[in-house]
Amino acid sequence: MNVEGRYLFHKNQNKGSSSSTDVGDEMNSVSSCVFDVKNYGAIGNGSTDDTPAFVDAWKAACAVESATLLVPFGFTFMITSTLFSGPCKPGLVFQVDGILTPAVGPDNWPKKDSRRQWLVFYELDNMSLTGTGTIDGNGQQWWDLPCKPHRGSGGKTFPGPCDSPTLIRFFMSSNLRLSGLRIQNSPMFHVKFDGCEGVMIDKVFISSPKLSPNTDGIHIQNTKSVGIYNSTIGNGDDCISIGPGCVNVDIDGVICGPSHGISIGSLGVRNSQACVSNITVRNVVIRDSDNGVRIKTWQGGAGSVTGIAFENIQMENVRNCAIIDQYYCTNKKCVNQTSAVYVRDISFRNIKGTYDVRSPPIHFACSDSVACANITMSDVELFPFAGELIDDPFCWNAYGVQETLTIPPINCLLDESYEKLSSLAVFNYTVWLIPMFETDCILIMWG
């Protein structure tokens, strides 16, 4: 009904009375805009390769305005790594009401196919991926590959994924919508947006086991104007990760966990430059997670992270509730470097709940040479989930203000007034007019 309504809204209709012939023609036009993969030869038994049918249905739908490629309810369709490319006519809908899945495990992955990605949507504008169905990545066998360690249930280290496919990737596209679907058990990242602009994600459910490695729920990079709303994400890595080149990201109404929390970064890896700005995370619940909200950068990087707001966040048994880490490293071989991604204008407001006492709930580890600046703490109240706090909140070279008392107290935050004076010499040219005697002024350019 939504598909028909969309088409009829755009159709130029006669304002006068319609004959039965007119109504019949209109309904035929509506039907012609729905491209059911079953009509293109898809079997839907979960084992037959239905890729050719999907490719043919895509080509047909791509050429029609406001068309719908339909993956019908009641069937399981198996397809291999596929590129769905544009440009297409505007208003294209990829509607998954059934189950869509790749082959099970790396041994069954076609050798000719990319092992880095499965479904790729490329160079599209005004396109939606939606429906009431499930996209299942069959990730278990990928998680067990002996490439990257991950933690087992008893604390033991087990192998993990290497060269594993991202389940869904949107690349170099604009005005995208992802909604309604259940996306689960990805071999690696569940959904990735790269080089996109204008992204709306609403009411999606993303799920994989807590110990599944590198299964970020939603990852965005080099992408701007993103909204992520009313969604539930539980997985083995960040529920949402924000990479370099992201601007204007709004996250609201998300339930996250178990996971590694909501992360900006990691940024600046291998001495690269990364810029992220204007990110808002609000009205979020994070539960049973290794981290809450965090910013992580590598030593040696360059660029900036600015204008970040974490607001109205409920923590439930979260380890490391609020983190800024400019010493991020995934191994023990990282060397100290002086350059760093600059972090400033970060606010934590109305952050409340409980934390895992194995780590301090607040941890701000900033670069020796590039301090974190203008951190604001307000209405932060975090209590032990069980037991007593072992270590106090940690700060290193972090400047900011507490608008209200913080629980637990964060007495390690440095006075912002000194940082502002020093930062002027590094980042701005400031003009001062200093009165000399009664009438003259000396013009000082400090930069």
Partnered with residue 145 across adjacent β-strands are none
| Half-sphere exposure in the Cβ direction for 295 (13 Å, CA) | 33
Q: Is 443 helix (H, G, I), strand (E, B) or coil?
A: strand
Q: Encoding tokens for residue 431?
A: 């003009």
**Cα dihedral sign, 435-437-441-442:** negative
- Beta-carbon contacts of residue 28 (< 8 Å; ≥ 6 apart): none
- Of 150, 190, 219, 260, which one is the catalytic site residue? 260
| Half-sphere exposure in the Cβ direction for 82 (13 Å, CA) | 20
Beta 440-446 vs 430-436: how paired, if at all?
A: antiparallel
**Cα dihedral sign, 396-401-403-405:** positive
- Please state, in angstroms and rounded to a whole number, the distance separating the CA atoms of residues 55 and 195: 24
For the question of residue 10 being annotated catalytic, the response is no
CA distances for 191 relative to 69, 156, 164, 261, 340, angstroms:
20, 29, 13, 16, 29
Q: Encoding tokens for residue 83?
A: 């590129």
| Angle, CA of 60, 66 and 67, to the nearest 5° | 30
DSSP per-residue string spanning 184-243:
E--SS-SEEEES-EEEEEES-EEE--TT-TT--SEEEES-EEEEEES-EEE-SS-SEEE-
- Please state, in angstroms and rounded to a whole number, the distance separating the CA atoms of residues 285 and 291: 12
C-beta separation of 392 from 413 below 8 A: no
Residue 74 CB-density burial (10 A; 0-12 exposed, 13-18 middle, 19+ buried)? exposed
Q: Is 173 helix (H, G, I), strand (E, B) or coil?
A: coil
- Beta-carbon contacts of residue 400 (< 8 Å; ≥ 6 apart): 346, 372, 373, 374, 375, 376, 377, 413, 414, 416
- Please state, in angstroms and rounded to a whole number, the distance separating the CA atoms of residues 433 and 412: 35
Which sequence positions are flagged as catalytic? 260
